[in-house]
Amino acid sequence: MSKDPAIQRMEKIVSLCKRRGFIFQSSEIYGGLNGFWDYGPLGVELKRNLKDFWWRRNVRERDDMVGMDGSIIMNRAVWKASGHEDTFSDPMVDCRSCKSRHRADQLPVKDGLKYCPNCGSRDLTEPRAFNLMFKSFAGPIESDENLVYLRPETAQAIFVQFKNVLETSRQKLPFGIAQIGKAFRNEINPRNYTFRSREFEQMEIEYFCRAEDGLRLTDYWLEERLRFYEDIGIPRSKIHVHDIPDDERAFYSKKTYDLEYEFPFGVSELEGIAYRTDYDLSRHIEHSGKPLEYFDEETKQKFVPHVVEPSAGVDRTALALLCEAFDEEIVVGENGKSETRTVLRFHPRMAPVKCGIFPLLKNKPELVAKAREIATALRPFMTVFYDEGGAIGRRYRRQDEAGTPFGVTVDFETIGENGPEKKDTVTLRHRDSMKQERVSIADLKGRLLEAIA
């Protein structure tokens, strides 16, 4: 039976990610660890580009946003106050036949009855709550007093530092605090590659405001975030905005949008934008006994700010970028025969490597020296990859697979062997169109910087 094309596509993406060094299974030589992943040389650049652009757009380019970097392990009291210790759980069931464990809300259903996706049995236990927070101990004694959790979200560090950040940054409402960092959830069933992992990174904003502005700002952030995805190469048409109905939202939220992307394995959540009212700060005021209110100089009023939270996943967005970029096309190869070209059509801003640099022949010292000189000159400004091995067509294909948007070839014209007109010019190849143009070396940096800004 032929496989579903979407499944085939996902398999190809996973295989490319391994083959080209985007994503590896964590601890692979020891059999891996379910729900944990390592990013290789290309993957780490992709994630860095994503995080840097998010930070630039949301923090550096705005005067109403500041950043912070909280610790992963915090006082356990934080998680009691936030409600995570009591309620951050998923319903878990065991299959009595094959002993596998599953999330009750993700079980497949046939004829109105849930069954085990592993063995098909319907002999399942009743669901019971399983808390997703990883536990550890701070200090040498494994006692209840020393119990700590690895944070399951970055957001709480922002709430508990609200007063310190407000006082030191002297912001006025509305303003936001942004953070990027690791989060950990002991997911019952990690799945869909990196989509649901046990260790992942979040990019979160807590945007504090007056109560009367909460709903309007939630819609404002929805637009902002859609614009962001567009600017990294994920078109609006591929993002589904799910306006969560009243009866499915957290009780304290007055509005929540889920932004979902059309992954090959189905439309799934990339980001949540939640208007959380004053719930979080109020809980921390109640539990810590500390005043976390905002004092309005103009009206002389003191009140607890409300908050809008756009919360995105780095790993899920990186996976969406890979899925969106992956393409295969039939092209005519150097030998005149048709072949399949695999290409990652990343937006140049997100591409792990911006430019491949190739001397036409590796045994011509002048070509090699010139190509190395160009690579050295570009390196402080962007990630480049110098490659002198193999036929030039093959070197282009390798960069196509890595998603490198530009290729620069240093040939005999560059070194003036065919006359002075084209001396100090190179061939600039465009990944998507495969078109080539002649560009002077002096213009190269400016051209590339403009494209990747």
CB nearer to ligand GAP: pick between 197 and 427: 197
| Rounded Cα–Cα distance for residues 275 and 359 (Å) | 55
Shortest Cβ distance from residue 331 to ligand GAP (Å)?
35
Asked if 404 contacts 448 with a C-beta cutoff of 8 angstroms, the reply is: no
User: Is residue 388 part of the contact set for ligand GAP (CB under 6 A)?
Assistant: no
- Give the per-residue contact string, 193-232, with ligand GAP (x = CB under 6 A; - = no): ---xx--x-x-x----------------------------
C-alpha 135 chain-centroid distance: 25
- Residue 310, C-beta contacts closer than 8 angstroms, at least 6 positions apart: 204, 205, 207, 221, 224, 225, 271, 272, 273
- Give the per-residue contact string, 411-450, with ligand GAP (x = CB under 6 A; - = no): ----------------------------------------
User: Is residue 185 part of the contact set for ligand GAP (CB under 6 A)?
Assistant: yes
CB nearer to ligand GAP: pick between 226 and 410: 226
List the one residue out of 369, 252, 263 whose CA is nearest residue 313: 263
Q: Phi and psi of 429, rounded to 5°? A: -105, 135
CB nearer to ligand GAP: pick between 197 and 409: 197
User: Is residue 186 part of the contact set for ligand GAP (CB under 6 A)?
Assistant: no
User: Is residue 262 part of the contact set for ligand GAP (CB under 6 A)?
Assistant: no
User: Is residue 294 part of the contact set for ligand GAP (CB under 6 A)?
Assistant: no
Q: How far, CA to CA in Å, does 24 sit from each of 29, 159, 200, 206, 333?
A: 11, 34, 14, 32, 31
Q: Which run of H or E residues covers position 128?
A: strand 128-131
- Span 82-121, contacts to ligand GAP by CB under 6 A: none
# residues near ligand GAP by CB under 6 A: 19
Asked if 108 contacts 114 with a C-beta cutoff of 8 angstroms, the reply is: yes
3-state secondary structure of 387: coil
Q: Which residues pair with 327 in a beta bridge?
A: 343
- Give the per-residue contact string, 335-354, with ligand GAP (x = CB under 6 A; - = no): --------------------
- Residue 228, C-beta contacts closer than 8 angstroms, at least 6 positions apart: 54, 57, 58
| Rounded Cα–Cα distance for residues 42 and 52 (Å) | 15
User: What one-letter code names the amino acid at 391?
Assistant: A
CB nearer to ligand GAP: pick between 282 and 311: 311
| Rounded Cα–Cα distance for residues 291 and 164 (Å) | 11
User: Is residue 320 part of the contact set for ligand GAP (CB under 6 A)?
Assistant: no
User: Is residue 280 part of the contact set for ligand GAP (CB under 6 A)?
Assistant: no
Q: Which residues pair with 438 in a beta bridge?
A: 427
Give the CA dihedral 72, 76, 80, 85, nearest 10 degrees: 70
Shortest Cβ distance from residue 149 to ligand GAP (Å)?
14
The residue whose two tokens read 């509005």 is 255
User: Is residue 271 part of the contact set for ligand GAP (CB under 6 A)?
Assistant: yes
User: Is residue 400 part of the contact set for ligand GAP (CB under 6 A)?
Assistant: no
User: CA angle, 200 as apex, 199 and 205 as ends, to 5°?
Assistant: 135
User: Is residue 187 part of the contact set for ligand GAP (CB under 6 A)?
Assistant: yes
Shortest Cβ distance from residue 446 to ligand GAP (Å)?
36
List the one residue out of 258, 90, 75 whose CA is nearest residue 156: 75
Contacting residue, 20, 47, 151, 316, with ligand GAP by CB under 6 A: 316
| Rounded Cα–Cα distance for residues 127 and 153 (Å) | 24
User: Is residue 270 part of the contact set for ligand GAP (CB under 6 A)?
Assistant: yes
CB nearer to ligand GAP: pick between 93 and 307: 307
Contacting residue, 280, 315, 400, 413, with ligand GAP by CB under 6 A: 315
| Rounded Cα–Cα distance for residues 39 and 263 (Å) | 20
Judged by CB under 6 A, which stretch of 15-23, 112-120, 123-131, 268-276 contacts ligand GAP?
268-276
Shortest Cβ distance from residue 199 to ligand GAP (Å)?
8
Judged by CB under 6 A, which stretch of 95-103, 269-277, 348-356, 431-439 contacts ligand GAP?
269-277
CB nearer to ligand GAP: pick between 210 and 242: 242
Instruction: List contacts with ligand GAP (CB under 6 A).
Output: 153, 155, 185, 187, 196-197, 200, 202, 204, 269-272, 309, 311-313, 315-316
